[in-house]
Chain A
Amino acid sequence: KQEVTQIPAALSVPEGENLVLNCSFTDSAIYNLQWFRQDPGKGLTSLLLIQSSQREQTSGRLNASLDKSSGRSTLYIAASQPGDSATYLCAVLNAGNMLTFGGGTRLMVKP
């Protein structure tokens, strides 16, 4: 059974720092990996989707990489801002069209 782990569980940084969130998964037979953002009490918003054949995707200040063979992904956030404060979730798509989610990293960016 696929398991997804995110480290760290929580992170607090000063505004302007570059930061990296980590995600690891146990079964490399994935179709894609996705990063989501969740604000408190709200639903999830898709940030980036990396196909299993791709190595990375970029959107603005966000860059996600995927190393399928080692079961790892990172989400890099450049020049962090207070508005980036949220929980970041990674999820992998397996056969059967089901997403398996990690536990999330709660990010606080302090002004």
Chain B
Amino acid sequence: DVKVTQSSRYLVKRTGEKVFLECVQDMDHENMFWYRQDPGLGLRLIYFSYDVKMKEKGDIPEGYSVSREKKERFSLILESASTNQTSMYLCASSGAGTTDTQYFGPGTRLTVL
């Protein structure tokens, strides 16, 4: 079974802190994704990566950066957390083909105070 794990289920940070969210997949997938999910706004793509050290901006990249130094690991970085980044963050991974579904992690609920 594909497994996508995220470093924390719940996280509370202060405004201005640097925040790291980590995601690890065990299926040698090429693609990895970070989404945020908010009531009324649905799931929105922040960044995705199609290979090590490669990244593409999604719909809402402002205020975020990402890092993919190894194929299995994709990190989302909030350089200076703000209250409007309080959200549920979901990581996903998939193979490179159009027949490949995305597999999601359990999510990290981040609260920025």
Please tell me if the beta carbons of A34 and B101 are within 8 angstroms of each other in the complex.
yes
By CB atoms of chain B within 10 A, which of A41, A89, A99, A101 has the most? Answer: A99
Interface size on A, residues (CB 8 A): 24
With A51-B98, A93-B98, A104-B42: A43-B106 Cβ-Cβ less than 8 Å = yes
Main SS class of interface, A? strand
> Most chain-B CB neighbours within 10 Å: which of A36, A43, A49?
A43
How close is A84's CB to chain B, nearest CB, in angstroms? 19
Identify which of residues 37-73 in chain B touch chain A, using a CB-to-CB cut-off of 8 Å: 40, 42-43, 45, 48, 50, 56, 58
**Chain A 1-42 interface mask (CB, 8 Å, partner B; 1/0):** 000000000000000000000000000000110101000011
Cβ contact within 8 Å between A43 and B31: no
Instruction: Looking at the assembled complex, report how far the CB atom of A100 sits from the nearest CB atom of chain B, in whole angstroms.
Output: 8
Q: How large is the interface on B (under 10, 10 to 19, 20 to 34, 35 or more residues)?
A: 20 to 34
List residues of chain B with CB within 8 A of the CB of A97.
31, 48, 50, 96
Cβ-defined contact, A43 with B58, below 8 A = no
Beta-carbon contacts of B61-102 to A below 8 Å, as 1s and 0s? 000000000000000000000000000001010001011011
User: A45 within 8 Å of B by Cβ?
Assistant: yes
Chain B residues near A49 (CB-CB < 8 A): 99, 101
Contact call A46/B103, Cβ cutoff below 8 A: yes
Q: Which residues of B contact A101 (CB under 8 A)?
A: 42-43
Residue contacts A-B, CB under 8 angstroms, 20 given: A32-B98, A32-B99, A36-B104, A41-B109, A42-B107, A43-B4, A43-B90, A43-B107, A44-B90, A44-B92, A44-B102, A45-B104, A46-B103, A49-B101, A91-B43, A93-B98, A97-B48, A98-B58, A99-B45, A103-B42
